[in-house]
Amino acid sequence: MKLGFSRKADEGSKRPDRNAQFEYINAKVVAAQASGQPVISVDTKKKELVGTYKNGGSDYRPKGDPQRVKVHDFVDKELGKAVPYGVYDVAANAGFASVGVTSDTAEFAVETIRCWRNRMGRERYPKAHALTITADCGGSNGARVRLWKVELQKLADETGLVLHTTTIGRGRRRGTRSSTGCSVTSRRTGAAGRPQIAWPSSS
């Protein structure tokens, strides 16, 4: 357009490698399931204010007895926000969620995965020696978030599981991979004192 301006469209421009991203992740997921290993998808869900705030829905109250709520949706500094982090077990078609009240951190994200394994995953997959984790590329579980990798390493050390992660980028940028993967094994079986994080040479 003139003057160098452009308009937003309903959909963004089609990424030429977008399908390849999903094909890569799908291949990893299928291979894990074929070998009987668990695959989970993780993500932070919509954060909600904690307190007496208006929440539209289909519940009704008797006339003259309304539920009292705050006029403005300002965060209560004492109560904060509820941060739901979800784990979806792909093969079992079952979900698990933890709700935090501080912030969406990588430490909280991995703790949710740890809770899922202790409460559901260990019983469902007693012979598991690996865990494949799919995630988006933002927030607490981003591919470039160092704490995410550090906390995954701790989980691998605790459980002895080989952790495989795959992330889907929000959009390809020059010089970045179309999709990224990471394998984390227990330091007890790797080089002493060094995290065993191996990035694939291709995506």
Domain contains 62? no
| CB-based contacts of 153, cutoff 8 Å, min separation 6 | 184, 187, 195, 196, 197
Q: Quick one: DSSP state of residue 190?
A: S
Residue 191: helix, strand or coil by DSSP? coil
pLDDT at 166 (0 to 100): 86
pLDDT at 179 (0 to 100): 47
* Amino acid sitting at position 144: R
Domain contains 154? yes
Report the number of distinct structural domains present in the chain. 1
Domain contains 105? yes
Domain contains 124? yes
Domain contains 30? yes
Tokens representing 152 are: 């995954």
- Closest listed residue to residue 171, CA positions, set 137, 199, 134: 137
Q: What is the pLDDT along the chain (203 residues), one digit of tens a residue?
A: 456 665 556 655 566 677 888 888 899 999 999 999 999 999 877 777 666 666 666 667 677 776 666 655 656 666 667 788 899 999 999 999 988 877 778 898 999 999 999 999 999 999 999 999 998 877 788 777 889 999 999 999 999 999 998 887 655 443 334 345 666 766 654 444 433 444 343 33
Domain contains 11? no
Compute the distance between CA of residue 104 and CA of residue 85 in angstroms, rounded to an integer: 8
CATH value at residue 188: 3.30.420
8 Å CB contact between 92 and 124: yes
Domain contains 60? no
8 Å CB contact between 47 and 53: no
Domain contains 131? yes
8 Å CB contact between 167 and 200: no
Domain that holds residue 37: 16-49+68-198
